[in-house]
């Protein structure tokens, strides 16, 4: 009999709790306050140092001429006969300077190198942000052994929260799929031996252009 009485008391308390809502003992979450202090260091330098610490290769280009020169050097150094690219703006520059490329998605998996744009660069973590807003280029980020990324200095954000705010302002809403790339693909799951390129590109090279092209 005592067991039934105790059970009824518990159920009664639950019913009252559902009927009478209590005020939450905590304030509404603050989505505007930064978790990390904003660094006084120049964003470009901060990103470059962190990006290289993560295993990426950083190439600063003052203008279009330097960008093309460095791109040719990278392709020659790694014996890359062509790049896969299907971004119209980047293709226009490649054609202008006679850089060999392919854009047919049927040949993507056979390509050793892809050249893509990005959304933003996160200075604090040295991370590249991409989104599904441009569905045409989503597949190209994870397919080839060499991933070349094109970005301008204006795309550098201090932290992830800044990049997300900029992304929302850019598209009026945050895209349904966002990926953050921090260095080339790596894993140490097998016998704790570091393997590069296990789940994506083994080389991640960023061309950061200061002058708009």
Q: Quick check: 184 and 172 in contact, CB under 8 A?
A: no
In-domain check, residue 138: yes
User: Quick one: tokens of 92?
Assistant: 């226009």
> Roughly what angle, to the nearest 10 degrees, separates helices 88-96 and 64-77?
80
In-domain check, residue 143: yes
Q: How does pLDDT run across 86-139, given as a tens digit for each residue?
A: 899 999 999 999 999 999 888 888 888 999 999 999 999 999 998 877 666 666
The CATH number given to whatever domain includes residue 99 is 3.40.50.10420
Q: Quick check: 111 and 143 in contact, CB under 8 A?
A: yes
Tally of domains within the chain: 1
In-domain check, residue 6: no
In-domain check, residue 21: no
Q: How does pLDDT run across 129-157, given as a tens digit for each residue?
A: 988 776 666 667 667 889 999 999 999 99
In-domain check, residue 75: yes
User: pTM higher than 0.85, yes or no?
Assistant: no
In-domain check, residue 35: no
- Give the domain extent around 77: 41-209
For 85, half-sphere exposure in the C-beta direction (CA atoms, 13 angstrom radius) is: 21
Question: C-alpha 30: how far from its chain's center?
Answer: 25
């Amino acid at each position: 009999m005592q067991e039934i009485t105790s059970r009824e008391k518990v159920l009664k308390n639950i019913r009252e709790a559902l009927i009478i809502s209590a005020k939450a003992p905590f304030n509404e979450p603050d989505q505007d306050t930064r978790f990390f202090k904003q660094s006084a260091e120049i964003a470009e330098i901060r990103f470059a140092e962190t990006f290289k610490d993560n295993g990426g290769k950083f190439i600063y280009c003052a203008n279009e001429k330097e960008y093309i020169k460095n791109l040719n050097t990278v392709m020659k150094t790694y014996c890359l006969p062509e790049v896969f690219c299907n971004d119209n703006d980047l293709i226009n520059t490649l054609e202008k300077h006679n850089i060999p490329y392919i854009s047919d998605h049927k040949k993507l998996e056979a390509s050793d190198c892809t050249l893509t744009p990005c959304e933003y660069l996160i200075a604090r973590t040295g991370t590249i942000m991409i989104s599904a807003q441009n569905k045409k280029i989503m597949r190209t980020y994870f397919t080839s052994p060499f991933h070349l990324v094109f970005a301008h200095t204006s795309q550098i954000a201090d932290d992830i929260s800044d990049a997300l705010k900029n992304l929302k302002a850019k598209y009026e809403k945050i895209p349904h799929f966002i990926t953050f790339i921090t260095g080339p693909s790596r894993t140490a799951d097998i016998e704790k031996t570091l393997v590069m390129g296990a789940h994506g590109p083994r080389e991640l090279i960023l061309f950061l252009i200061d002058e708009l092209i």
